Amino acid sequence: MTKSIITLTLTMLIFSGLHAQTNNVEITNQFFKAYEEMDFDKMASYWDDSLKLQDLIVAEMYKIEDTYYGRQTPLELWKQAFSVKPNYIRISVREQFTSGNFVVSDLSFESSSSNNEKTAITKGEMFTIFKFHNGKITEHYDFGDYYTWGRQIRSVLKGEHHVNYPEEKNLAIAQAYIDAYSNSDLEKMSSFYADDVEFKDLTAKDVFKANNFEQNGKEHVKSFWKGVLIDPKAKYLNVKIDGAFYSASYVMLNTTFAMILPASWTGGKENVYVQFPIKTILQIKEGKITKHYDFADYDLYHEQIRLQTAN
């Protein structure tokens, strides 16, 4: 095969991948539009028959199942949840990126609800993550700012203006944990873990085609981070929290990850700098992290490496 044919083949593969990702973003935003219109049958039309839908926070708050499979049961539950429809729903995309087969969206979600003569307008943040296969959503994860919405509704409709949530203290734990992460302080990081801590980066697992991005147990998670943070000896690492919210035992973090990559990661190229967003979800119970989930923009990560290592 000649060099020109190889180049053409690679170019076609790249554009094919970009086209698929563009379609996935379009489908994602069509789903949000159907949500605004409260057209739940149309929403379900974007789900695959094998759908996995998960909302860990709602499950914890309302003592229900956290994961549903297939299209029909989630559709019925969604219709039931909106049996009394709000006056309107508005969804604005604050940030959105593709990462392999994933589309990660950081949303501003606003709605209006009325009770007799009172009307409450609620607004909060939500992370919604879709995984796609052949143009259909096969995995759907929501992490919502439900505490903020609940506070706003109770304030207007019930006159309860001083609502306290004991889980607010988890924000400080999350900040201390990310500070340890930014300082590559593995011992400090692991001091926050529960013995049965669970780590997942499903975007990394999808992009890098490796199973080590799912770990269970304190020692396994610690060993994973040792391979990422300690063994390569990065010249520079910084993890910055750009915003945070919490609901139930979960803290949701908008973070920016920045690093000068070890030369062993870049084929010997020195001083390759990457900076990209990661949506981090931490479950914290009794002062210990029981879950750490990441959804990161590895498409941007790879593009930055490509630009800096091109000859």
Q: Which range among 9-23, 46-60, 296-310 shows the weakest confidence by mean pLDDT?
A: 9-23
Where residue 6 falls among pLDDT bands split at 50, 70, 90? very low
Looking at residue 308, its pLDDT comes to: 95
Each residue's pLDDT tens digit, 293-309? 999 999 999 999 999 99
**Euclidean distance between the first and final Cα of the chain, in Å?**
22
Q: What percent of the chain stands above pLDDT 90?
A: 80
Q: Are residues 276 and 150 in the same domain?
A: no
Each residue's pLDDT tens digit, 96-140? 999 999 999 999 999 998 888 899 899 999 999 999 999 999 999
Looking at residue 159, its pLDDT comes to: 83
Asked if residues 211 and 141 have their Cβ atoms less than 8 Å apart, the reply is: no
Q: Are residues 61 and 170 in the same domain?
A: no
Task: Give the torsion through C-alpha atoms of 41, 110, 21, 243, to 10 deg.
Answer: -140
Supply the range of the domain harboring residue 248: 166-309
In the 8-state DSSP scheme, what is residue 156?
I
Residue 185 scores a pLDDT above 60:
yes
Q: What percent of the chain stands above pLDDT 70?
A: 93
Alpha helices in 101-211 (DSSP H): 146-153, 170-182, 186-191, 202-208
Cα within 13 Å of Cα(75), Cβ side: 16
- Choose the final residue of a domain: 133, 158, 183: 158
CATH of the domain at 42: 3.10.450.50
Burial 147-160 (b: 16+ CB within 10 A, else e): bbbbbbbeebeeee
Q: Are residues 149 and 216 in the same domain?
A: no
* Separation CA 118–CA 55 (nearest Å): 29
Looking at residue 5, its pLDDT comes to: 52
Residue 223 scores a pLDDT above 60:
yes
Q: Are residues 171 and 299 in the same domain?
A: yes
Where residue 1 falls among pLDDT bands split at 50, 70, 90? very low
In one letter, which amino acid is 9? T
Q: Are residues 181 and 149 in the same domain?
A: no
Q: Are residues 59 and 87 in the same domain?
A: yes
- Choose the final residue of a domain: 142, 158, 174: 158
Q: Are residues 154 and 299 in the same domain?
A: no
Q: Are residues 225 and 295 in the same domain?
A: yes
Where residue 19 falls among pLDDT bands split at 50, 70, 90? low
Residue 3 scores a pLDDT above 50:
no
* Separation CA 175–CA 252 (nearest Å): 11
Q: Are residues 119 and 12 in the same domain?
A: yes
Q: Are residues 302 and 180 in the same domain?
A: yes
Say what the pTM is: 0.91
Rounded to 5°, angle at Cα 60 from 32 and 159: 80
Q: Quick check: helix, strand or coil at residue 275?
A: strand
Looking at residue 75, its pLDDT comes to: 97
| The 3-state secondary structure of 179-247, one letter per residue | HHHHCCCHHHHHHCEEEEEEEEEHHHHHHHCCHHHEEECHHHHHHHHHHHHHCCCCCEEEEEEEEEEEE
On average, the pLDDT of the chain sits at: 92
User: If you average pLDDT over each of 20-24, 152-156, 300-304, which comes out highest?
Assistant: 300-304
Domains in the chain, number? 2
Residue 7 scores a pLDDT above 60:
no
Each residue's pLDDT tens digit, 255-292? 999 999 999 899 889 999 999 999 999 999 999 999 99
* Separation CA 92–CA 71 (nearest Å): 25
Strand partners, 106: 95, 127
* Separation CA 131–CA 100 (nearest Å): 9
CB-CB neighbours of 187 under 10 Å: 8
* Separation CA 138–CA 203 (nearest Å): 14
User: What's the rounded mean pLDDT across residues 209-229?
Assistant: 96
User: What's the rounded mean pLDDT across residues 233-256?
Assistant: 95
Q: Are residues 304 and 171 in the same domain?
A: yes
Beta strands in the chain, from DSSP E residues, in sequence order: 47-54, 67-69, 88-99, 102-115, 118-133, 136-144, 193-201, 214-216, 236-247, 250-261, 272-285, 288-296
- Choose the final residue of a domain: 110, 135, 158: 158
Instruction: Compute φ and ψ for 97, nearest 5 degrees.
Output: -150, 155
Looking at residue 161, its pLDDT comes to: 82
Q: Are residues 123 and 197 in the same domain?
A: no
215 is written with which tokens?
């770990």
Asked if residues 126 and 37 have their Cβ atoms less than 8 Å apart, the reply is: no
Residue 253 scores a pLDDT above 70:
yes
User: What's the rounded mean pLDDT across residues 53-71?
Assistant: 97
